[in-house]
Structures are given as structure tokens and as C-alpha cells.
Structure 1
């Protein structure tokens, strides 16, 4: 029995404001609804998971309604939002907070400028629901038992400096608006950001990034002021030759419901271009048939499958990361099932700040040690970037080697030297 079944029948369920007011933010709120946890063992397991989690709990009733509560521990929706202590493995020795080095690439507070002609604008540090695997767990959401978040100054205080930097850096033609999640911006904030970016002549592309369509799709259909603001920005951009798009984040076919379809249809009919970015995670979508189903469903809704990312190094997520060899296998299985433009690129966002690389484009990959070495010639041409496979995908001897600092150092040195030798010989 789904403990949220009763709420699903309420007329308010389709209202985004109600969903946000009733979001579950604590174990106690979950415990109140649980009927099949007589000994309290399951909720104690969740408490242990949250003690290790870098992200606070915040889940809309809509997302909770998608969980198969009779198969709670194995459910792919649950795995993305509710940690349990019994499944968490020790993190990889290479794990670092802010593993992508975003803060090092921030010329002004709230803007990441890594790629030559693209910038990432962090408009908010809040989301309608908090994903366990969030790359920005160093700053997004509330403090947790394990992480004190890096707090940004209020957005309005940062906005003038952001705009000034963008105007003074005309090489930037592409801006992704993220956070946090742009669903958490109100309509006036969204309009102000859109108008401000459109006032900069050098900017040719603006992308609004959101998990919202997967966790709060009824915002599009019930908060028409917000939707109209997005459409007005899109129309204004089209009139002046600037491409506006909405980037969504679906990871599993079950996240696509009639609420999703209604929201996507409304946006499509009003001229919004949509693309999807997924994260590859064990127990969620590390199966070619599941990924095929996701690609097909998204394509049917005119949401272009765009990227599938290897899961970033995030504390408490080692058990959900997949090896690069598995990612390559799934990518091969998907290639050819539909039109090429609706086939996602499998990619690694390289730790250390190298940016996104095609998952197949490694200079060197040792499946025994799990070390892949990438180059990023357009971003940081003089550096090599290492992405490690999850420890549990390796042999017992390799796992032991990673826990020995001297052996781990030798493995890394050997990998770098092999990549350099390969580059030297062409």
C-alpha cells in the first residue's frame, strides 16, 4: 500500500504550491505515514542514511507517490531521494567536496566560467526536491550533519556583478541558468534574469536547467505566471535571434506520468525547446532496456535526450556509481534504436575541472585499477583528468590497493604515464 495514496486523490495534488507546502523534509514526517514498518527498522535505516548524506531531505508528495513502497529498498525513485544507511559504502579515496572545482572557476560569485564561450549562472541554492547525487552538495540546500553549505550572498546582490562580467566578456555566447533549480525562482525573478541576459548583445543561447519537470511537473500547468514568464523570454529571444531552451532531468521511465505529459505538451505547443540530461546510477537506470524506455518516452514528449552523465563523486554515493565499461556497453546498446538527434551522448564531467568529455574519449583506461585518464584540450590543455570506477566494481586486490596510499599513488602515476606515452606516440 502506498502511504501517499490518499493524498494522490486530493484535488490539491495537481497544485504546485500545495506540493511545495507539503514537501516531506524529515524522517518523522515519513514515519507518520509508514504502515509497513512495525519495528521501525526501515526508518532507523533512513536516519542512518541521512546522517551520512550531504543533501538534506526534501521530497514532494508527487515524487513520494511514484515510489513502490512494497519494494522500498530496491525502488529506483527512492534511491534518488531517500538514503538508507544499510546501502552506503565508503567513498572513493579520490572523493573531494566540489569535485568538479566549480568554485575555482568562478570569476564572480554565482557564475562559473570554465568553457571559453559558456558560463553557468547559479541563480538559487534551493530545489523543489533534493537529489542525493547532487554535484553541488557543497552549496545547495540546507546544512546537513556531514556538510555545512557554502552560502552565497543574496542573488540580487550578486546580479550586478554577474551582468557586468558577462558584458565585459563578449566571448561568452552561451549561459546556462541553474542553481539549485530555476523552478524555485518566482515569475518576476525568472523574467528579470531572462531580460537581463537578453540585454547583453553577445549572448546567443540561454538554457534554463531544472529537475522540476520530473519532481514538480504541475508547476507548469498550475503556476501560469511562471510558465508565461518562461514563454515570454523564449518568444523575446526568438525575435532577437537568441535560442532559449529548457533542460530537464529525468533518470527513469517511471518519472514520466500524465502530469509530465501535460506539462511537456503545454511547453511544446508554446514553442519551448526541451532537452534532457540524465545521470547513470546503479539500481536506477544501469540497464540498457530501462535506458531505452527512457529515451523513447522522452522523445515521444518532444524532450530531446541530450546527455547521460557518469555519476559524479559525491559522498555516500559510491554504491550508485557505475564503471565506465558498463556505461560504454549501455551506450552501444542504445545507439541506433531511434534517430541520432534523439540519442543521448554518454559523458563524464571530469573531476578537477576538465569539463564534459565523451565517455569513450579517454586517453587511457585500465579496467583492473578502474582508472580512466582524459584530456580537455579546449578547457585546460596542459592537464590530465582522472575519473575512477567505483571500488565495488573492482577485484578485491584492486580495492585493497586503493586503500593503501602508496599503492594508490603508484597506480595513479602509472596511469598518467601511460596516457602521456600514448599521446606522445599519437
Structure 2
């Protein structure tokens, strides 16, 4: 249906010739189209003498035989935990591991006496050494530790230092390396592009609404380490959940800027938004004439799929209602989630995804490319195929952002370029994710293959962003830097020294401008 605001001309009844000659249809003529072009309001269905074939029965859930893998029982303290408890969202919320003492107790229960070190370090270490390594990582990390029971139950605790899930959520000091000189918090300059509190408006037609600072599970490589999660020894967070006044101001801004057609609601993670707030935000955005698409960002499907399966979960029901409302008025609501490795996917994930599909909810996935976790073609291909099997659209593969204390997880640009070439043809073209660099300094998303230059010796790649205008962005060149430890040792030290000097000069210039600005005031 087309809105009255877009309708020009008259509504004309016409008779359709051919196989539909006995049907009366209404067509609309639009001022923006050829006046002779008639657009049917309803698509005619050809008459058929034979009865339609019967529909195949649709299962409510995947089959659940009695021998279904109760994988959480590998955790000693959950060895007798009933499925109904592990499937309960309330139980999961109460058993999150997030404080240092809490984590220490969990590790003491789950670790064997001896565990292997990371493969590139070699050897083994006793349990106490490993726990000390974890605590050292927590003191140095930008992100605090917060892990849902589902994630903990998917980790191989016989070899945690080499487990692809453990490395995403729990830091080890022994794995950390010196930061690149060009790294800094808020590497994407989101705060600079924030016209009002909690809203980022960088692209002309899109806005990012940051409504919460809480996540069900905290990633060590979080882009918003400057504000998400609890304070750490390294970072005092400066971000809070949006209050009512901030929400109203952001919504008013979106409504008053008619060029905005797409809003992504994130944080933090919308999984921890109260269901009535989730629905209210969605309703109010969908009611705006200028908004066509609303996206809710949540890692919940990857780290706590049980919630989606639980009967009468208010958050899931609110999302389903919003999706149905949007579809009825010709708009879109989608859930954007975040899987990085095939091991995150279990039969619970499959059930949760099926429920979302049956409720008509579009789900897309964004993956972050992480060194030693998913930076090889076999792992990434497996992940993509499993996502496709669950009808989740593999959307983006992100080059890991340049934020502090995770240098050991970043890959050189060459890795994502090689991976992109290898991924072509592994499945249908529309299911191949785009390989993206979110450009440092606020340049926005750009395919890695569209770099202007890439010096593999210095590890410096340059990009432009034609889509961004104003604020000095025309013809601006953005740079991405490969991790220092991946560079040729012969030039590494001299390059780092020159980059540090560049940072020092830039900081001095910034401070001078700030002093001049204060003097003018």
C-alpha cells in the first residue's frame, strides 16, 4: 500500500484482460511515474482447475531426542543441572560470571590441574599460574569480564588458552602485546559525530541510537570500550544507559531530520532493554514518516539463545510484534546479531533461530575478524554455512577495530583481502558477507578491497569515503594500520618511533588549539 502523502492523481477501477478478465482491480497513477503506468494494488492469482498441493507440516521446534547433548553438564558445578533450569532466562541472568571473585571461584571448579599454554608460547602451566594470568589480563584490559553460562558451557576448559570462545571474552596477560602507537579509545570517533546525547549521525540517511551500556556478555575487543561495561583498572567508562530525557531528545532529532531513513538501536546490547522500552522505541520510530528501517543490535542469540526459546519471553514477543507491525506498513525491522565462530552454535541456537524465523523476524549477522580465532578460510566457511542453515544472513565481516589492549587479536589488512577472495563461491552469492573496514577517525564502513593504497611493508592502508560530506570530509584520507608485530622486524622499530612522534605532534597541536579556543571565549 502507498501512503496518502505519496499518492497523486486519482484511483481508477480497471478491468484486467487475459486469465484475470473476471476480476476487478484498483490501480493508482502516481505523479512521479508515467501517467499511463497502472500499478495493481493487489497481485492477481491465476485461476487453476486443479486443487493446490497440501502444505508440509511445519515443526514448532527441531526434534529433541532424549539423547540430545546436554553439553552444560561438562561444567562440574552444573553436572546435575536440569534442562529446564539451563533453559531458563532467569537462571542464566542469576548465574552470569562477572566479578573477579566470582570468576576465580568458577575457574577453580572448572580447570584441570595442568593446562596448555597458547600454542605460539608452547608448554603447559598449572592451574594457579593460569588463574594468575587471567587476573593479570583483567587488570590490563579495557573491558571488564562478564560471561553468560551458555558461553562458559561451550568453552573447552581442558585447553582454554587456545579455545576460540575463551579468547573472545576472558583476557590473558601472556597473550597481550604492545599497542600500536595509533590506537586509541573511540577509534571510530563516534562521540565527535554525536549531535545529541546517545545518537551518532554520520551517514546522511542512517543514525545509530546508543540506548544502553550493558551487554549480556562483554567482548574483550569491544569497539565502545570507552563506555560499555563496568570500569576497569585501565579505563574509567564515560557512558550510561539513556534516560527518558535523552531518549526523547534523540527521537525528536531523528523525526526532525527527514534525510534519516534507517536507525540502528544498539549500545551496549538491546538484549538488556526492558521489553516495553524496546517496543516503545520501535513503535515510535516506525510511526515516523521518514523512517523505513529499524535494526536492533544484540549478541543475545549467540550468547544466550535459551531466552528466545523460553515460553512467553516478553523481550522476544515485543520484537516479534514490532517485526509484524513493520511488515504490515511496508517497513522493516531486523535483528542484527554477532557470531564469530562455529563453536558458538549449538542445537539451542538452532531452536532459537527457528522460532525467530517462524515469527517472521529477519536476522542478520556481523562477524569480527580475529587473529587465531576465525582468520582462516575453513573456520569462516563453516561459520557462514551454519548461519545460512539457520536462515541468518551473513552480513559483514569486520576488520577488527583499532582499540587498545587487543593488538594480539587484530589481523593485517592482507588477511581480510585474502579471505574475501577465498570466500567467493563457497555458497550462493547473496549469502557471501561483505568484508569491511570501519575506518578509524570516523570514516565509516568501506570494503577492504576499495583501499586507495596498501603498503604491506609498513602495514599502512589508505581509504577515502565518498558517501560522507561536510565537516572537512571531502577528499579526506583515512588510514588503517596493521598490527606492529606482523611487520618486518627490520623496519618495525623505526616505524614505531616515527608514528609515536606523529602522535606527539598531533596531540601538541590539539592542545594548542584548545588553549586558543579558551582564550577567544
1:214 to 287, 297, 302: 302
1:276 maps to what in 2? Answer: 365
The answer on 1:31 being equivalent to 2:102 is: no
Tell me the distance in 2 between the aligned counterparts of 1:126 and 1:153: 8
Q: 1:93 touches 1:402 (CA, 8 Å); kept in 2?
A: no
* SS across alignment from 1:372: strand
Tell me the distance in 2 between the aligned counterparts of 1:253 and 1:8: 25
1:19 to 74, 81, 92: 92
Residue 2 of structure 1 and its aligned partner are, at CA, apart by: 4.3
Q: TM-score, normalised by structure 2?
A: 0.76
332 and 11 in structure 1: CA distance in 2 versus 1, 3 angstrom threshold: same
Larger deviation: 170-179 or 218-227? 218-227
1:73 maps to what in 2? Answer: 161
Tell me the distance in 2 between the aligned counterparts of 1:4 and 1:211: 25
The answer on 1:391 being equivalent to 2:484 is: yes
1:405 maps to what in 2? Answer: 498
The answer on 1:181 being equivalent to 2:269 is: yes
Residue 35 of structure 1 and its aligned partner are, at CA, apart by: 4.0
Runs of 4+ in 1 over 6 A off after TM superposition: none
2:475 maps to what in 1? Answer: 382
Equivalences for residues 317-356 of structure 1 within 5 A: 317-356=406-445
35 and 339 in structure 1: CA distance in 2 versus 1, 3 angstrom threshold: closer
Tell me the distance in 2 between the aligned counterparts of 1:268 and 1:394: 45
2:206 maps to what in 1? Answer: 118
Gaps in structure 2 of 5+ consecutive residues: 1-73, 114-125, 504-521
132 and 229 in structure 1: CA distance in 2 versus 1, 3 angstrom threshold: same
Offset from partner CA, 1:160-179 (integer Å, 9 cap, x none): 10111011101000000111
Residue 18 of structure 1 and its aligned partner are, at CA, apart by: 1.1
* SS across alignment from 1:160: helix
Tell me the distance in 2 between the aligned counterparts of 1:186 and 1:64: 25
Larger deviation: 376-385 or 267-276? 376-385
Q: 2:182 touches 2:499 (CA, 8 Å); kept in 1?
A: no
Larger deviation: 1-10 or 224-233? 1-10
Gaps in structure 1 of 5+ consecutive residues: 411-426
Q: 1:402 touches 1:408 (CA, 8 Å); kept in 2?
A: no
Q: 1:5 touches 1:65 (CA, 8 Å); kept in 2?
A: no
Residue 134 of structure 1 and its aligned partner are, at CA, apart by: 0.5
1:95 to 159, 183, 202: 183
Residue 5 of structure 1 and its aligned partner are, at CA, apart by: 5.1
Count the aligned residue pairs.
Answer: 412
The answer on 1:164 being equivalent to 2:257 is: no
Q: 1:309 touches 1:348 (CA, 8 Å); kept in 2?
A: yes
* SS across alignment from 1:40: helix
Residue 8 of structure 1 and its aligned partner are, at CA, apart by: 5.6
Q: 1:124 touches 1:155 (CA, 8 Å); kept in 2?
A: no
Higher helix share: 1
Residue 11 of structure 1 and its aligned partner are, at CA, apart by: 3.0
Tell me the distance in 2 between the aligned counterparts of 1:162 and 1:406: 38
2:57 maps to what in 1? Answer: none
329 and 160 in structure 1: CA distance in 2 versus 1, 3 angstrom threshold: same
Residue 73 of structure 1 and its aligned partner are, at CA, apart by: 0.5
125 and 325 in structure 1: CA distance in 2 versus 1, 3 angstrom threshold: same
Tell me the distance in 2 between the aligned counterparts of 1:171 and 1:224: 35
1:285 to 374, 392, 395: 374
Q: 2:211 touches 2:242 (CA, 8 Å); kept in 1?
A: no
Offset from partner CA, 1:74-109 (integer Å, 9 cap, x none): 100000000000000011100011000000000111
1:314 maps to what in 2? Answer: 403
Q: 1:2 touches 1:68 (CA, 8 Å); kept in 2?
A: no
* SS across alignment from 2:475: strand
